A and B are shown apart, each in its own frame.
Chain A
Amino acid sequence: MSWALFWKFVLVFCLSAYSLLVVIVIFGGIRNIIDMLKDLSAPRDQE
Chain B
Amino acid sequence: MDVFSTNFATIDWVIVMVYICIPVVIGVIVRKYVRQLSDFIVAGRSLRLFVAIATLTGTELGLVTVMYNAELGFKHGFSAFHVGIIETVCILAIGLTGFIVYKLRELRVMTIPEFYEMKFGRNVRIIGGFLLATGGILNMGLFLQAGARFMMGVTGYSNPAGLKLFMSVMLIMVLVYTVMGGMVSVVLNDFLQFIVLSIGMLVGSYFAITKIGWGNLFRAPETVNQASWFNPVAEGSGFGSIYVIFMVVLTFSAGALWQSGTLRALAAKSPKVAKQLFAWSSVSYLARRVIPMLWGICAFVFISQTPKLLSAFQGPDAINSQFGMPIFLAKILPSGFLGLIAAGMFAAFMSTHDSYLLSWSSVITQDIVAPLKKGELSDKSRMLITRISIVSIGMFLLIWGLWFEAPVSLWNYMAVTGTIYLAGAFTVVTAGLYWKKASKTGATIALFAGLLAILGIGPWTQGDNVPFYLSDKFIGLITFAIAILGMIIGSLLFPDKHKQAEVSQ
CA distance A36 to B46 in the complex (A): 6
What is the total number of residues of chain A having a CB less than 8 Å from a CB of chain B? 33
Contact, CB under 8 Å: A22 / B202: yes
Contact, CB under 8 Å: B202 / A25: no
Q: Given A18-B284, A36-B47, A37-B33, check contact A11 B202 (CB 8 Å).
A: no
Taking the complex as formed, is B168 at the interface, i.e. its CB lies under 8 A from any CB of chain A?
Answer: no
Contact, CB under 8 Å: A14 / B290: yes
- What residues on A are CB-neighbors of B188 within 8 Å? 33
Interface 1/0s, chain A 1-30, versus B by CB < 8 A?
011100110110111011101101111110
Contact, CB under 8 Å: B48 / A36: yes
CA distance A19 to B291 in the complex (A): 12
Q: Given A32-B48, A35-B48, check contact A40 B33 (CB 8 Å).
A: yes
CA distance A3 to B195 in the complex (A): 32
CA distance A41 to B135 in the complex (A): 36
Interface 1/0s, chain B 22-41, versus A by CB < 8 A?
00000000000101111100
- What residues on B are CB-neighbors of A17 within 8 Å? 283, 286-287
Main SS of the interface on chain B?
helix
Contact, CB under 8 Å: A40 / B43: yes
Considering the complex, which residues of chain B in the window 282-310 have a beta carbon less than 8 Å from any beta carbon of chain A?
A: 283-284, 286-287, 290-291, 294
- What residues on A are CB-neighbors of B198 within 8 Å? 18, 22
Q: How far is the CB of A6 from chain B (nearest CB, A)?
A: 8
When C-beta atoms are compared, the residue in chain A nearest to B199 turns out to be A22
Contact, CB under 8 Å: A25 / B54: yes
Interface residues on B, range: 35 or more
Contact, CB under 8 Å: A18 / B191: no
- What residues on A are CB-neighbors of B53 within 8 Å? 21, 25, 29
CA distance A47 to B194 in the complex (A): 31
Contact, CB under 8 Å: A33 / B191: yes
Contact, CB under 8 Å: B49 / A18: no
Q: Given A14-B286, A47-B38, check contact A19 B43 (CB 8 Å).
A: no
- What residues on A are CB-neighbors of B49 within 8 Å? 28, 32
Q: How far is the CB of B289 from chain A (nearest CB, A)?
A: 9
Q: How far is the CB of B38 from chain A (nearest CB, A)?
A: 5
- What residues on A are CB-neighbors of B43 within 8 Å? 36, 40
Taking the complex as formed, is B460 at the interface, i.e. its CB lies under 8 A from any CB of chain A?
Answer: no
Contact, CB under 8 Å: A10 / B51: no
Q: How far is the CB of B229 from chain A (nearest CB, A)?
A: 9
CA distance A33 to B48 in the complex (A): 8
CA distance A4 to B216 in the complex (A): 12
Q: Given A37-B33, A41-B33, check contact A18 B51 (CB 8 Å).
A: no
Taking the complex as formed, is B184 at the interface, i.e. its CB lies under 8 A from any CB of chain A?
Answer: yes
- What residues on A are CB-neighbors of B37 within 8 Å? 47
Contact, CB under 8 Å: B205 / A15: yes
Contact, CB under 8 Å: B202 / A18: yes
Contact, CB under 8 Å: B47 / A10: no
When C-beta atoms are compared, the residue in chain A nearest to B218 turns out to be A4
- What residues on B are CB-neighbors of A2 within 8 Å? 230
Q: Given A3-B78, A18-B284, check contact A32 B51 (CB 8 Å).
A: yes
Contact, CB under 8 Å: B38 / A19: no
CA distance A14 to B38 in the complex (A): 35
Contact, CB under 8 Å: B81 / A10: yes
Considering the complex, which residues of chain B in the window 141-179 have a beta carbon less than 8 Å from any beta carbon of chain A?
A: none
Q: How far is the CB of B41 from chain A (nearest CB, A)?
A: 11
Contact, CB under 8 Å: A40 / B39: yes
- The listed residue (B35, B50, B287, B290) touching A32 by CB distance below 8 A is B50
Contact, CB under 8 Å: A25 / B36: no
Contact, CB under 8 Å: B39 / A36: no
CA distance A35 to B202 in the complex (A): 29
Interface 1/0s, chain B 337-350, versus A by CB < 8 A?
00000000000000
Contact, CB under 8 Å: B46 / A40: yes
CA distance A18 to B57 in the complex (A): 11
- What residues on A are CB-neighbors of B321 within 8 Å? none
- What residues on B are CB-neighbors of A32 within 8 Å? 47-52
Supply 22 A–B pairs (Cβ within 8 Å), ascending by A. Answer: A2-B230, A3-B230, A4-B218, A11-B81, A11-B290, A14-B291, A15-B205, A18-B283, A18-B284, A22-B194, A22-B195, A22-B199, A28-B51, A29-B54, A29-B191, A31-B50, A32-B48, A32-B49, A33-B51, A36-B46, A36-B51, A47-B36
Given contacts A11-B294, A33-B191, 19 further A-B contacts (CB under 8 A): A2-B230, A3-B78, A3-B231, A4-B78, A4-B230, A7-B218, A7-B230, A8-B218, A10-B290, A11-B81, A17-B283, A21-B284, A25-B53, A33-B188, A39-B44, A40-B43, A44-B36, A44-B44, A47-B37
Residues of A within 8 A of B (CB): 2-4, 7-8, 10-11, 13-15, 17-19, 21-22, 24-29, 31-33, 35-37, 39-41, 44, 46-47
Q: Which 10 A-B pairs have the closest CB atoms?
A: A28-B50, A3-B230, A32-B51, A32-B48, A18-B287, A39-B46, A29-B50, A7-B78, A40-B33, A22-B198
